[in-house]
Amino acid sequence: MKDNIVFVLDVDGTLTDGKMYYTEQGKWMKAFGCDDWDALKEVNKFAELCFVTGDKKGFEIVRTRIEKEMNFNLYLVSHKPKERWDWIENKFPNRPIIFMGDGVFDWYSLSKCDYGITTNDALDHVKVKADFITIRSGGNRAVAEACVNIMEKFFEQTTEGLGL
């Protein structure tokens, strides 16, 4: 049975490198890192996963990865700090929330959640609000690293036991 904990990830900049690739026709692709999906499957045995993005133009790109390939729901949620946190809090009332984000406005959710994670390449004002900062950058196994941290800290699982 899953614990009561929810792990909310802002996809862009954590699961991706945060870059947006354009052609003359518009936004074309995003780069996702490897290993993150395997680690997320392990965390999902213990916690509910929630994926959010504020990128309207890139939503379908991210949706292909999150919903069609990983079989999780993706939510388009405002990137505005208070609006995003209000959405998270209303979606998961009275539940412990782990939040992972790296964006310029993610400092707010990091300061409000029960446990905040950001990437090494986040801005300094975002990093100071995090409880854990990955060594790796977004899109480069940062989410896998965060998952190992979560499994050890909250669920007393070692990396050897996870096969990670």
CATH code at 154? 3.40.50.1000
What confidence score (pLDDT) does residue 1 get? Answer: 42
In a domain, 113, yes or no: yes
Tell me the angle at which helices 36-43 and 142-155 cross, rounded to the nearest 10 degrees. Answer: 20
Range of the domain at 44: 6-162
Could you tell me the pTM of the whole model?
Answer: 0.93
Tell me how far apart the alpha carbons of residues 22 and 41 are, in angstroms, rounded to a whole number. Answer: 31
In a domain, 39, yes or no: yes
Burial (0-12, 13-18, 19+ Cβ within 10 Å), 160:
exposed
In a domain, 17, yes or no: yes
Tell me how far apart the alpha carbons of residues 139 and 16 are, in angstroms, rounded to a whole number. Answer: 4
pLDDT tens series, the chain, 164 aa: 466 999 999 999 999 999 888 888 877 888 898 889 999 999 999 999 999 999 998 899 999 999 999 999 999 999 999 999 999 999 999 999 999 999 999 999 999 999 999 999 999 999 999 999 999 999 999 999 999 999 999 998 876 655 54
In a domain, 1, yes or no: no
In a domain, 152, yes or no: yes
In a domain, 52, yes or no: yes
Tell me how far apart the alpha carbons of residues 51 and 28 are, in angstroms, rounded to a whole number. Answer: 21
In a domain, 133, yes or no: yes
Q: How many domains does the chain have?
A: 1
What confidence score (pLDDT) does residue 25 get? Answer: 84
Burial (0-12, 13-18, 19+ Cβ within 10 Å), 132:
middle
What residues contact residue 59 under an 8 Å CB cut-off, 6+ apart?
53, 74, 76
Tokens of 59: 């939503």
Where are any strands of DSSP class E within 11-141?
Answer: 21-23, 26-29, 48-53, 74-76, 97-100, 115-118, 132-133
In a domain, 59, yes or no: yes
What confidence score (pLDDT) does residue 160 get? Answer: 66
